[in-house]
Amino acid sequence: MKWLWVFLTIYLSIYLVKTTGYIFPPPIQYYLADLLAVPVVAGLSMCFMRYLTQNKNCILKSWQVIFILILFSISFECLLPLFMKRYTGDVVDVLLYCMGSLFFWKVMNKPPG
């Protein structure tokens, strides 16, 4: 769970600083949020599942992580660019979602302790 809180803090910090008009260097501005998206959402989902089931050892199944990956890829890289100009479809973003999914699966998707 420590990774979730680190990633969530980084993600929220970047978001809050960007609202002030600050422009980060391009790799941070355009790609860091995509890399952190799946680990943050999957980590929060795992916390929610643990709370609902009252099972602290609950972890996500592979199909659930893949579902989150596909949902992000289709939503943010295929559908939203069709309807909103601020979104652009980018293969690099999909690769970053994949890297984040793999990190979540290998490192974060573990029972506590």
| Whole-angstrom distance, CA of residue 78 vs CA of residue 96 | 15
What pTM was estimated for this model as a whole? 0.92
**Residue of 109, 92, 105 whose CA lies nearest to 35:** 92
Mean pLDDT score of the chain: 95
Q: Is the pLDDT of residue 39 over 90?
A: yes
Determine the pLDDT at residue 1.
81
